Structure 1
Amino acid sequence: MQPQPIPGGCVSSFFTVNNLPMPERYDVWKDSIKCLFDVDADKAVREKDFTSSIESHLFGSLMLMEMKTRKQKWHRGYNQIAGNGLDHYGVGVFQQGAFTCEGGKGGTELKPNGLVIYDLTQPFEARTDDLHSLLWIFPRPLVEELLHCPEDHAMRFLGPGDPMVRILYDQLMSISQNVHSLNHQQSLDIGKTLSVMLANCLNTASGPRRETTHERQGIIKMVNMRRYFRQNLGSPDLNPRRAALDLGVSRSKLYNYFAPYGGVYNYIRDLRLKHAISLLNDPLRARYSIYQIALECGFSSDASFIRAFREKYDVTPGEVRNRAQVKEQHAINATGLVDKRYEDWLYGLT
């Protein structure tokens, strides 16, 4: 299927293995979807009547994927997180098929007309029946600063009993039905609106409560602190003492704010490692040495960078770089039968 451009609006693509010989279908699907998830299916599912398709729409800063496939297990681990560097939130809407995750927040099974939230920087395991689902991809900058606890929503189930969830669900369904008609400005406006609605759902996910002025001030301070650390990430002398001074808070107060993240040092390290993943997978930096990457991320040496990276992701920066360099960077595979442009679109979201 050829792209369907709307002037200044969305572009669409259609990935399917359904036109391939049956013995090839599952392997082609598994190889393509690994940009998001590792998958596994029973032998009977893989070898008999396996089907899979993804219709993708890229508009504004958002991406919508309409997925139809067979019963499978889904997994995203630290090795894969390090390998592809995707730093997005996802919102799943299931029109058909059960979705279960033992480590889910707010439950273990998605309820009809509910939503499931993915954080592609965190690992998870889940199971689905034969499914028809919509997956909305939000670049992290669109949502993160609107959230009270941006790291606390991987595999979060949002139930239809919450009116904000019902409203967001209806909006997502309506937009998916009208995606081809949106122009560029409408796409941008919708991205901002949906980001606010999603943040509101997540910020009250544990139950509605009345915020005091003191609590609201604390939230605003936390947003400013996270922004400060991102802006100063490459500085090698970024530390709690300097941060407290620049932010105008006491060191003890700073430590209290970041205690849920394992402390200030741990928070800074994780931010630097996430940034390193994006640099290691960036073709424009393919000639950068590991030492240059380390310095750009604020590490004092390549040795300390490699040690921290291996500790977090169980692979070395060099291994991630090598995978990125051998990865095929084309949209449609050599047979010309499978449209894989959605993979490149995922990496280009900002």
Structure 2
Amino acid sequence: MPDAADVWRTLVRPYVDARIESDPRQFFGEMAGTHLGDSMISRSTSAATMANRRHALDIRLGQMDHLLIQLLLAGSIRGQYGKRKVDVPPGSISLLDLGQTLDTRTDSLTTITLTVPRDRLPTSLRGRNLHGIVLPPEDGATQLLASHLQALMTHAPRLTHTAMAAHVNAALMMLCGGLSQPVPATADTQESVRDSMRRLAQRQIERHLDSDQISPEHIATAIGVSRAALYRLFERDGGVRAYIQARRLDRCFDELLLSTGSRIIIADLAYRHGFSSESVFSRAFRRRFEMSPGEVRTRAQRARASQHLDTNGTPDVTTVRAWLESIRGYPAATIQTG
């Protein structure tokens, strides 16, 4: 039977890899939450000092494209959210993007977290790097959102599905206010058009990603825009060529994750995906994922082996995995360890 600390680490594993640094025999943790349709509101308390990390491998394995809006009620969080240094005091609200890396230390914590899929965000926020933004506790907008999150946590189990959606929308509008992001209708409409064109281009890229004939000119012609307009659609990615390379690297990453043994030859993988040499591929791969192709293959094998731990049979672990990995359905649940 796993101890409380091991169960907790497994509970939060879809979010972070948590290493408990204080005496694990003294650990206590509690988590409660309610599904809100495609979102989730949860409250968690943990009595321990922990180091928390989220690697590129975790991101690819988890396939979770969500934003966490986290109110810190007690404790502290210090470290790096991606490239942003954070020092989160009680009463503040921090934003955590599950599509980015994390490396923090936390003392005993109590948090309320609203987990929202990225496509639920107002369009004015989708192009922003929100990871690691901290709303200060003294700001009125922060206090308003904090009050709403606490009330939502309390009353969510008794809300109708329609009311749940409305209160999630209200929280997102308050977040816009805290970030000083007005969302006028005209700008929102223009952004929606750009999002639609970008999705068209992305589908075209995915359809021809294995072809050595894919080019910005080909994509622009296929979706009926100029090269300049196409570049603007992918400007935040460094341009369409950079986006294509990133998607090819993602495919290589996924192939390595699914590989067994050492059957994939790295050089063959590089040439099949349009790289001129294994060294060029390896440098680009490390820049994107902060590890080499060989390291990904090795760590993926270890991750698969760890799935057979006894904690898989713990009912609480199964429940929380279902919460975090699917965010479907509407049951309320409470989990306690310790």
TM over 0.5: yes
- State how far apart, in whole Å, the 2-side matches of 1:128 and 1:276 are: 34
Amino acid at match of 1:94: L
Match of 1:87 in 2: 65
Contact preservation (8 Å) 2:18, 2:50:
yes
1:320 deviation in Å? 8.2
- 2:161 is aligned with 1:184: yes
- 2:7 is aligned with 1:35: no
Amino acid at match of 2:195: V
Match of 1:156 in 2: 133
- State how far apart, in whole Å, the 2-side matches of 1:167 and 1:32 are: 30
Map residues 153-232 of structure 1 onto 2, 5 A cutoff.
Answer: 153-198=130-175, 200-201=176-177, 205=179, 219=191, 222-232=194-204
CA deviation profile, 1:135-164 (whole Å, cap 9, x unmatched): 2211122127442524x1111112245544
Map residues 60-139 of structure 1 onto 2, 5 A cutoff.
Answer: 60-69=37-46, 70-102=48-80, 108-139=86-117
SS in 1 for 2:236: helix
- State how far apart, in whole Å, the 2-side matches of 1:188 and 1:329 are: 37
SS in 1 for 2:96: strand
Match of 1:349 in 2: 327
The 10-residue stretch of structure 1 (127-136 or 337-346) with the greater mean CA deviation from structure 2 = 337-346
- State how far apart, in whole Å, the 1-side matches of 2:225 and 2:44 are: 47
1:345 deviation in Å? 2.4
Contact preservation (8 Å) 1:331, 1:339:
no
Identity rate of aligned residues, in percent?
20
SS in 2 for 1:57: strand
Match of 1:266 in 2: 242
1:56 deviation in Å? 2.8
Match of 2:31 in 1: 54
Contact preservation (8 Å) 2:92, 2:134:
yes
CA deviation profile, 1:312-348 (whole Å, cap 9, x unmatched): 33457877876786675999843x5644311122221
Contact preservation (8 Å) 1:148, 1:219:
no
- State how far apart, in whole Å, the 2-side matches of 1:174 and 1:116 are: 18
1:189 deviation in Å? 3.1
1:170 deviation in Å? 2.0
Q: CA RMSD in A?
A: 4.2
- State how far apart, in whole Å, the 1-side matches of 2:205 and 2:298 are: 23
Amino acid at match of 1:180: P
Identify if the C-alpha distance between structure 1 residues 279 and 147 changes in structure 2 by more than 3 Å, giving closer, same or farther.
farther
Identify if the C-alpha distance between structure 1 residues 112 and 51 changes in structure 2 by more than 3 Å, giving closer, same or farther.
closer
- State how far apart, in whole Å, the 2-side matches of 1:74 and 1:321 are: 19
- State how far apart, in whole Å, the 1-side matches of 2:77 and 2:137 are: 15
SS in 2 for 1:113: coil
Contact preservation (8 Å) 1:122, 1:154:
yes
1:302 deviation in Å? 6.6
Amino acid at match of 2:102: F
1:117 deviation in Å? 0.5
Aligned residues: 306
Matching residue within 206, 211, 216 for 1:234: 206
Amino acid at match of 1:84: G
- State how far apart, in whole Å, the 2-side matches of 1:279 and 1:187 are: 39
Contact preservation (8 Å) 1:92, 1:133:
yes
Structure number with greater CO (CA < 8 Å, separation at least 6) is 2
Amino acid at match of 1:223: D
Identify if the C-alpha distance between structure 1 residues 195 and 228 changes in structure 2 by more than 3 Å, giving closer, same or farther.
farther
CA deviation profile, 1:178-230 (whole Å, cap 9, x unmatched): 011012222233334434443x24xx73x56999x8x8787455433433334
TM-score with structure 1 length normalisation?
Answer: 0.69
1:37 deviation in Å? 0.3
Identify if the C-alpha distance between structure 1 residues 327 and 265 changes in structure 2 by more than 3 Å, giving closer, same or farther.
farther
Amino acid at match of 1:267: Y
Contact preservation (8 Å) 2:10, 2:311:
no
Give the gaps of 5 or more residues in structure 2.
259-263, 265-269, 329-338
